[in-house]
Amino acid sequence: MNALQDVSHLLVSSLAGFYMGLLWLRFLLQFLHADFYNPVSQFVERWTRVPLRPLRRMLPSTGRVDVAALLLIVLIKLLELSLYAAVEAHTLLPAPQLIFLAIFALLSQLLYFYQGAVILLMIMSWVVAAGGYHAVYALLAEITEPLCAPARRIIPPMGGLDLSIMLVFLGIQIAEVLLQHLFNVLGAALGL
């Protein structure tokens, strides 16, 4: 691979990853009924509104599930993987392999998203504990609460110190390892 391919790979990966991160956040905000008036929520809504509007006409949300955002995430990942295959291997992947790779890549991306959210939550909890408020912290707390609440029942906070977040972080890492092994087993069966 030459330098131009490396740079284009980096740019496509970075832009697609950033935008899919915004779309994942949009999906989770609706799914978890997070505070829509939070400034971060408003930013995410503003940056994802235009491409989602036409998709919403065809695929309206069903309850808490933002189907349009989920579809756009999948389409961007499929496009990204197709571009990589075309540039690096000078070929297009067969549809079953492409869909298989996209599903595992998106599940992995969601786990990395939550891993980053948990790390930021741990760091920012020290700022908030000192008496501050931050919109990002409030949103991260809402997004990670479905994972943290069960962990708090196992390891309750002790003297203002919440160690349950470490259990959540460990659980996410275990899920990543299991996902990678599942990918290897199923990928070998599909000839990847």
Q: Which tokens go with 157?
A: 């906070």
Tell me the pLDDT tens digit for each residue of 35-75. Answer: 889 999 999 999 999 999 999 999 888 888 999 999 999 99
User: pLDDT tens-digit profile of 124-173?
Assistant: 887 776 677 788 888 999 999 999 999 999 988 887 777 888 999 999 99
pLDDT at 97: 85
User: What phi, psi does 133 have (nearest 5°)?
Assistant: -130, 140
Residue in this structure with the two tokens 């808490």, named with its chain if needed: 64
Q: Give the per-residue pLDDT at 192.
A: 66
E strand or H helix at 68, and its extent? Answer: helix 67-84
Burial class, 181, CB count within 10 angstroms (exposed 0-12 / middle 13-18 / buried 19+): exposed
